[in-house]
Amino acid sequence: MEITTVGVVGLGTMGAGIAEVCARHGYQVLAIEPDADSLERGRGSISRSTERAVTRGKLTDTEREEVLSRISFSTQLEDLASVDLVVEAIPEDLDTKRELFGQLDKITPPHAILASNTSSLSVTEIAVATSRPARVAGLHFFNPAPVQAFVEVVRTVVTDPSVVDDLVAMARSLGKEPVVIGDRAGFIANALLFGYLNQAVSMYEANYASREDIDAAMRMGCGYPMGPLALLDLIGLDTAYQILDTMYRQSRDRLHAPAPILKQMVTAGLKGRKTGRGFYAYAAPNSPEIVDDGSAAGAESNVEPRPVQSVGVVGSGTMATGIAEVLAKGGFDVTLVARSESSLTRALGALDKSLEKAVQRGKLEAADRDGIRARVSGASSLESLAQVDLVVEAVVEEISVKTALFENLDEICKPGAILATTTSSLPVVELAAVTSRPQDVVGLHFFNPAPVMRLVEVVRTVSTSPVTLATAVDVTQRAGRHPVVCGDRAGFIVNALLFPYLNDAVGMLEANYASADDIDLAMKKGCGYPMGPFELLDVVGLDVSLAIQQTLYREFREPGFAPAPRLEHLVTAGYLGRKTGRGFRAYE
Ligand SMILES: NC(=O)c1ccc[n+]([C@@H]2O[C@H](COP(=O)([O-])OP(=O)(O)OC[C@H]3O[C@@H](n4cnc5c(N)ncnc54)[C@H](O)[C@@H]3O)[C@@H](O)[C@H]2O)c1
């Protein structure tokens, strides 16, 4: 069927974008809102958005005029009497949507396809409110609709296959990559996204970390385009609440039960960008500009840090050499301590190679390299750390090895020296407890490769003193890294939010809801992630991922965190990802 005229009902966050993207691709659009005021607001959104596209050079002025001329606005549903397709984008409420579809069924011509942009509601239940359930489907766009190149086409058990084909063709004509899937709450992307968003809200609600730090951690640690709280503000907290509520009712997974603070914020009118206030404050309703509301993070900045000039790094692996490089680049005098002369030679060799690479890539001047290198000295005995101001430990991830090391460091290092661990999964406080200076022990969780990744999770235990925390933050900043402060629990911020999502993706694959390719595509194109979950799992290593997920499960006892059986089976079979040539995918 040829689609030329599209009705868009509801011009809020999503509808305005959907109307715009249809008009930009040549469709005649009839845009509907229930009253004159909201219609004006919708028209204003489209006008501003296309204006921004002109400013950014994505549209010319003439093109913009043409786009706008293709959209007509109305408050009368009856005006949809001759459309080929309706995309509904009204609030996420089943009864309202069913009522609207009943009306649309009477108004639109019999050949018209009725599509819902619902994020989580049952398309089947919406379809049966009409006399043409075979011509009803889901057409789920992503926010912002003009930007995200992904669309989920949701078919119910009664959707006519030709309707699915027509919607797929239509989505392609809009420059989107469509994936066809069955009718399940959250479909692919939201089912994987919202558990994560909800967890992030719980972290914020529990004061585990500040909003800025949670968001920065996920942007810098995972390369996501937005942090979870800023994204929720964009989605709209009312919509997010409805989506989670629907998902919870279907899954009965506690992780989908909306975090209580979401309801409080919605009730208070803090719905995100659309009301000018959500987790952040915005310059005006619908403005993307975050303004200072006096509650930004940084309480530790009131405390004067201790002076730190000389630092020790213990270990000889990838993390240790990377951290030594970062600290030396930051102007610190670094003593790198390895277990033996031979491992020291190897570690210093790796450091030289990394610096050399930076010079070759034009990222570092040769003279600077020599300066940096001159600041690093090597040693094979911990005794050489007697006078340093701070030690970062990056030895093997085994608690017995680390506690023995901390006992030694405690004896050797001068009073007041800070002892930091870069552990990714062990409790920092266990290391603090074996020393006589638990107030001076802190976590400094660098990411791999340390010279590239700017994020550092600064982990404070119940014993860490404010001055130690302030010093750790200061050192991280002076080393050109971005510190985020969090408490001492499994996964810190990034892994605690990342791995359950990866595990959920494995669960979705196991349930045969979608293929690994479609799931990867959904997260990359729908959410702008740099890699899909299966690509990432294969890179990280399935054994490493399983171990992290097990740690999270043991710590939080959340049934939803239980490692997916498929992940365990692949590890048992020795399919560990890229490093063994086979994981979720096979590699050459
Ligand atoms: N916000 C997102 O990121 C996102 C992403 C994908 C899909 N969705 C889905 O899209 C739909 C719309 O969500 P939203 O975030 O755009 O909501 P929104 O609250 O921003 O906008 C809804 C719009 O619908 C209008 N409206 C209400 N009742 C109407 C009616 N009977 N007829 C016509 N217009 C009506 C409202 O005035 C409002 O402008 C929901 O089903 C949501 O789940 C949202």
DSSP letters spanning 411-444: HHSPTT-EEEE--SSS-HHHHHHTSS-GGGEEEE
User: Catalytic one among 116, 120, 143, 190?
Assistant: 190
User: Catalytic one among 88, 122, 140, 425?
Assistant: 140
C-alpha of residue 203 to centroid of ligand 1, in Å? 28
C-alpha of residue 118 to centroid of ligand 1, in Å? 8
User: Catalytic one among 45, 116, 117, 119?
Assistant: 119
User: pLDDT for 362-403, tens place per residue?
Assistant: 999 999 999 999 999 999 999 999 999 999 999 999 999 999
190 is catalytic: yes
Which residue has the least CA distance to atom 2 on ligand 1?
A: 235
Mean pLDDT of 32-37: 97
503 is catalytic: no
Rg of the chain, C-alpha, whole Å: 27
Print burial letters for 394-412: b (CB count within 10 Å at least 16), e (below 16): bbeeeeeebbebbebbbeb
User: pLDDT for 511-550, tens place per residue?
Assistant: 999 999 999 999 999 999 999 999 999 999 999 999 999 9
Nearest to 570 by CA among 525, 499, 506: 506
Ligand 1 pocket, Cβ-based, cut-off 6 angstroms: 9-15, 32-34, 38, 89-92, 100, 117-119, 140-141, 143, 235-236, 239, 243, 274
| Residue labelled with tokens 């959707």 | 159
Confidence of residue 73 (pLDDT cuts 50, 70, 90): very high
The answer to whether residue 293 scores a pLDDT higher than 60 is: yes
Confidence of residue 490 (pLDDT cuts 50, 70, 90): very high
C-alpha of residue 88 to centroid of ligand 1, in Å? 8
| Alpha-carbon dihedral sign for residues 83, 89, 91, 96 | positive
The reply to whether the predicted model has a pTM over 0.85 is yes
Which residue has the least CA distance to atom 15 on ligand 1?
A: 13
> From the alpha carbon of 16, which atom of ligand 1 is closest?
16
C-alpha of residue 369 to centroid of ligand 1, in Å? 55
The answer to whether residue 302 scores a pLDDT higher than 60 is: yes
Alpha-carbon span 312 to 305, nearest angstrom: 18
> From the alpha carbon of 238, which atom of ligand 1 is closest?
19
Which residue has the least CA distance to atom 28 on ligand 1?
A: 90
C-alpha of residue 146 to centroid of ligand 1, in Å? 16
User: Cis peptide before 449, with omega less than 30 degrees from 0?
Assistant: yes
C-alpha of residue 515 to centroid of ligand 1, in Å? 29
Contacts of 471 (CB under 8 A, 6+ apart): 305, 306, 308, 390, 418
140 is catalytic: yes
408 is catalytic: no
Amino acid at 35: D
Best mutation site among 38, 43, 90, 188 for ligand 1, i.e. most ligand atoms within 8 A of its Cβ? 90
CB 126 within 8 A of CB 136: yes
The CA–CA distances, whole Å, from 398 to 170, 195, 404, 425 equal 55, 31, 10, 10
C-alpha of residue 586 to centroid of ligand 1, in Å? 42
| Residue labelled with tokens 């000389």 | 310
Which residue has the least CA distance to atom 34 on ligand 1?
A: 10
Alpha-carbon span 45 to 276, nearest angstrom: 14
Mean pLDDT of 479-490: 97
Q: Which residues pair with 114 in a beta bridge?
A: 86, 136
Confidence of residue 299 (pLDDT cuts 50, 70, 90): low
> From the alpha carbon of 88, which atom of ligand 1 is closest?
11
User: pLDDT for 102-127, tens place per residue?
Assistant: 999 999 999 999 999 999 999 999 99
SS3 478: helix
Which residue has the least CA distance to atom 37 on ligand 1?
A: 38
